[in-house]
Structure 1
Amino acid sequence: MFLRLALRLQLFHYSIFRFYPKIKDSVKLSFWQPVKRKTIFLMGISNQLKNQHLLWRAGFGPDTVPVDELSSDSNKKLIKAIFKASEKVPAYIDVADPAIKEIYQGMEEMYRQKRQLTEEQRKLVRDRSRDGIRALNLTWLNQMVHSEQQLREKVSLFWHGHFACRTVNIVHQQQLLDAIRRNALGKFPDLLREVSKSGAMLNFLNNNQNRKDHPNENFAREVMELFTLGRGNYTEDDIKEAARAFTGWGSNASGNFVFRKNQHDTAKKKVLGKSGNFNGDDILDILIQHPQTAQYITRKVYRYFVNETENEEQIKWLADRFYKGGYDISALFQDIFTSDWFYDQRNVGSIIKSPVLLIAGIRRAIPMEISNEEVQITLQRLLGQQLFYPPNVAGWPGGKNWIDSSSLMLRLRIPQMIYAEDTLTLKPKDDDDQMMGMKDQGDRKQKMKAFAQKRGGGQVIAATVNWDAYTKLFEKISREKLLPAISSSVLQTSNSVTVSTLDKYIDNSSRENYIRSATIQLMSTPEYQLC
């Protein structure tokens, strides 16, 4: 309730009604005045709402499922189907240019011969890696939208933020993504170990520079603070000692893990009260054996998939079972989605959709093909969550941080932009990682302008929507019940938009146009930002 109120106060503060004249009366009434007219209420938790809640939290929202099926389908059978669909090991996403892979594969031999890449090769690596990461972004986003493995992709998105990593190396980046997607629903120790030994993470956290007599503490610190125990559950001495254990861990140019024995500190170390001649694997074992790791991971999962307002009793119950069950990630989510409290009214419609969830959710709800797919990357940047570009090592903060003065208006405009093929005139802030160093080169203004024209503002969301497939979802609904049915399908909140007011601004020229315009208007309300 507090989250919804805070969102509404921000909406008022940013003068939403000036931008949305067609729905402003409806939004004002539902926000600020007691409504005595006919309204759309979600009384209790219906079976339809339970199933939609599950589909939003265990995936990226409902796709083209008829309303009557969502109402009648067994929640238990739906849970079972969701887990079964995500059992299969996902295919490796490989979008890297063959020329890039060939260069990386040959670099080890070049190093042995003390040769360097030519300027032409360096330019090729920069340009093709940049394009490759953009292709990886869109390919994975399409998986989120279309894959039957909704749970695997949603949990992978969570781990993508948990194991936040930036690298302009497309080969390393897609290796890390593969490690996350394959292990997303497996055992956390396996996921932790594989991510920790990935070329992307070892380079990002500087462990290739971690050598005996000159230990680099960055990797050890983040493994404890962000990946396992959480801040405040270790000492600085623990970090220093663990860093010594991780000496010698590195990767080659192709991203494969390499243990450089001559760089490893073989002396005795003491970490979290345990002493021994530890190596990196020993440290990971010690961290896994600590119950605080289960508590820390479970708390993050709870905040992401259940509610940002924590319930200590529920978190403790989940964490204890997670720890005793050998850190089985799939079992943790089984415990969450099969618990009665997961479907409590306070948890439904309580989470602000992340930008990626918002984009993917709209695309799943209204089947469409976007001809200029890269506009989605521009939207990600404008909204504050571009895949493979986390803001820092801690990942995206999420929650109310998704909503600010620069993103809120755009969030509410997206459905209208798709409907009308409107122009996206905003331009993302500069990011030198994404500009590939262009900010620091000569003739900066000209290059930045060219980049912006190619990648940035002034784009139309050129979407071809399959409205026939969408309107068919409501073919069994009578005309007088149509708007309540659309609203209950589109929105997850009990604070409703007024039917009598919203009805004034819907296209009544035909049943099909009524369904289309009502859906877009409802998606343009603040309530749609919540799931």
Structure 2
Amino acid sequence: MMSDFKKNIHLANRAGFGMGLQQITVFEQQSTAVLWKQYAQEHEFHPISFNTEQTNVDYTALSKLNAADKKQVQQLNRKRNIEINLNFLNEMVHSEDQLREKMAFFWHGHFASRVINANFSAHILNEIRKNALGSFRDLLFAVSKTPAMLNFLNNQQNKKDHPNENFAREVMELFTMGRGNYTESDVKEAARAFTGWSYDKDGHFLVRKKFHDSGSKTFLGKTGNFDGNAILDIILERPATARFITEKLYRFLVNEQVDQDIVDTLSKDFFDSGYDIRRLLDRVFTAAWFYDSKNVGNKIKSPVELMAGIMRMLPMEIANPENLIVYQKLLGQMLLYPPNVAGWASGKAWIDSSTLFLRMQIPQIWTGLRPLDLDAQNDDDLDMGLKQSLALAKAYKNPKISIDWAGVEAVFADRDPFELLLQQQPSFGKALRDSYAGGSRRRTIIEVMSIPEYQLC
């Protein structure tokens, strides 16, 4: 039978970004039920932003700027997006509100968008973080009206007599019901309802009435003079929406292999609760089946989960935090920059011969045992302008990270790194332990973090 300590580590991996160094003693003494109550506790919301100077730029008129001004605005946006990215990662590592940040990370991939405008990036991220544990209805409405999403899915081009179907299609296919639960006619009618949804020069949502199609529409079997709000409400009336969201959350929180009976039960409760996200999470994290051995140590950490987990276990000072952007890029998951509107893939998609090799080297690179042997490819659409920083380009191979090894070694002094750091013990565990016997505790910790089993949570 699994001990409470192992259950606590499992809960920390799935409801947050892993056990922090200072939590080890607490996890050894605390019941899982009490720990979950602490994770589920409501905290005051603090938005994420950037520190670089504000500018009064009309982003709706960016195309009208001359080349020099446009370049200046783009460079400023890149700088700000880097700050937002790193501030989000910092919350994942240091925030006591681990559950909010873990769910914000999930919704960030679910409601995937990628925009140059840093104000828009910060706005959608904070709408996601603010609503991450509340009502899915509130979250859906909030995100659907952000300039970032409307811009990314081209809804400014969605006008009466010339509807653009992109936004309406993705709302149904990726954000709510999933394929097979609507028709092409539903897409066309929903697009008509969303005509006119836009934002003003300051990035505030508005409906441009002269562009809105006010005619009758038939959507999912209902007929009326529907606007975008009505379309979203009709979608939420469909149990298929609760089922789609619940199954995706199950894959993220529990297991890539879905237990359909469990998801059916969870999704019915989710629907009946009015899409209460916190209640759904409570049902998951307090269920006995969540702690079944088949659900423990079976998920491949995403790059951001891997990085945040290392940073939580090894308290560190980073001379050039911008270097972490390069590691996100090399590992294939840059916050704010999903590959497309479907977000990031998961599971085995994270692993190939090159990424696994780098993932296993990260603990050694960050602790100064070896340099980075790879080069980041230049891709201006993805690198946030990093190639423009010569100093950064030279620095990321040796990220200049200082780790509190005295604190780490004190905590690990009488504890087994294999038990603390791994959810699945390697088949050659005894031989590996024997090979580390007599070596330094520091080196053992680094080596355990560098084996394939550390990639699992």
For the superposition of Structure 1 and Structure 2, which TM-score range results when normalised by the shorter chain? over 0.9
**Are 1:407 and 2:321 matched, yes or no?**
no
Match of 1:469 in 2: 407
Question: CA distance change for structure 1 residues 61 and 131 in 2, over 3 Å: closer, same or farther?
Answer: same
Q: Which among 179, 191, 196 is matched to residue 231 of structure 1?
A: 179
Does structure 1 retain, via aligned residues, the 8 Å contact 2:323–2:399? yes
Q: Which among 212, 224, 237 is matched to residue 289 of structure 1?
A: 237
**Post-superposition shift, 1:497?**
4.2
- Residues 98-118 of structure 1, C-alpha deviation per residue, up to 9 Å, x if partnerless? 343x113xx67x79xxx9324
Match of 2:22 in 1: 65
Does structure 2 retain, via aligned residues, the 8 Å contact 1:249–1:260? yes
- Residues 394-420 of structure 1, C-alpha deviation per residue, up to 9 Å, x if partnerless? 000111000012211000001111222
| 1-structure distance, mates of 2:383, 2:325 | 14
- Residues 464-511 of structure 1, C-alpha deviation per residue, up to 9 Å, x if partnerless? 111122122234x3xxxx4xx221100011445423443324563xxx
**Are 1:53 and 2:10 matched, yes or no?**
yes
What SS is found at the alignment partner of 2:21? coil
Q: Which among 484, 491, 499 is matched to residue 430 of structure 2?
A: 499
Match of 1:93 in 2: 48
Matched to 1:98, the amino acid is E
Residue pairs, 1:180-329, within 5 angstroms: 180-329=128-277
What SS is found at the alignment partner of 2:162? coil
Identity of aligned residues (%): 47
Q: How many residues align?
A: 457
| 2-structure distance, mates of 1:456, 1:225 | 42
**Are 1:528 and 2:445 matched, yes or no?**
no
| 1-structure distance, mates of 2:76, 2:394 | 19
**Are 1:169 and 2:107 matched, yes or no?**
no
| 2-structure distance, mates of 1:166, 1:354 | 19
Q: TM-score, normalised by structure 1?
A: 0.82
- Residues 218-263 of structure 1, C-alpha deviation per residue, up to 9 Å, x if partnerless? 0000000000000111100000000000001011232210100111
Q: Which has the higher contact order (CA 8 A, sep 6+)?
A: 1
Matched to 1:227, the amino acid is F
- Residues 84-131 of structure 1, C-alpha deviation per residue, up to 9 Å, x if partnerless? 1xx22421212163343x113xx67x79xxx93243321221000011
Residue pairs, 1:68-79, within 5 angstroms: 68-79=25-36
What SS is found at the alignment partner of 2:206? strand
| 2-structure distance, mates of 1:265, 1:374 | 46
| 2-structure distance, mates of 1:524, 1:269 | 57
Matched to 1:52, the amino acid is I
What SS is found at the alignment partner of 1:432? coil
Matched to 2:17, the amino acid is F
Match of 2:367 in 1: 419
Match of 1:28 in 2: none
Query: Which is worse superposed, 366-375 or 138-147?
Result: 366-375
| 1-structure distance, mates of 2:254, 2:382 | 33
**Are 1:371 and 2:319 matched, yes or no?**
yes
| 1-structure distance, mates of 2:85, 2:244 | 28
Matched to 1:156, the amino acid is A
| 1-structure distance, mates of 2:35, 2:378 | 43
Matched to 1:263, the amino acid is F
Q: TM-score, normalised by structure 2?
A: 0.95
**Post-superposition shift, 1:327?**
0.2
Q: Which among 66, 80, 83 is matched to residue 40 of structure 2?
A: 83
| 2-structure distance, mates of 1:278, 1:96 | 41
Q: Which structure 2 segments of 5+ residues have no match?
A: none
Query: Which is worse superposed, 156-165 or 458-467?
Result: 458-467
Match of 2:294 in 1: 346
| 2-structure distance, mates of 1:219, 1:249 | 10
Match of 1:24 in 2: none
**Post-superposition shift, 1:457?**
7.6
What SS is found at the alignment partner of 1:250? strand
Does structure 2 retain, via aligned residues, the 8 Å contact 1:351–1:530? yes
**Post-superposition shift, 1:355?**
0.2
Q: Which structure 1 segments of 5+ residues have no match?
A: 1-43, 439-446, 509-513
Matched to 2:421, the amino acid is V
Matched to 2:286, the amino acid is T
Match of 1:516 in 2: 442
Residue pairs, 1:381-392, within 5 angstroms: 381-392=329-340
**Post-superposition shift, 1:180?**
0.3
Matched to 1:90, the amino acid is F
What SS is found at the alignment partner of 1:309? coil
**Post-superposition shift, 1:371?**
1.1
| 2-structure distance, mates of 1:246, 1:140 | 31
What SS is found at the alignment partner of 2:96? coil
Does structure 2 retain, via aligned residues, the 8 Å contact 1:412–1:523? yes
Does structure 1 retain, via aligned residues, the 8 Å contact 2:158–2:164? yes
Does structure 1 retain, via aligned residues, the 8 Å contact 2:113–2:148? yes
Match of 1:460 in 2: 398
| 1-structure distance, mates of 2:227, 2:208 | 12
Matched to 1:469, the amino acid is G
Does structure 1 retain, via aligned residues, the 8 Å contact 2:323–2:396? no
What SS is found at the alignment partner of 1:275? strand
What SS is found at the alignment partner of 2:223? strand
Question: CA distance change for structure 1 residues 360 and 368 in 2, over 3 Å: closer, same or farther?
Answer: same
What SS is found at the alignment partner of 2:293? coil
- Residues 7-41 of structure 1, C-alpha deviation per residue, up to 9 Å, x if partnerless? xxxxxxxxxxxxxxxxxxxxxxxxxxxxxxxxxxx
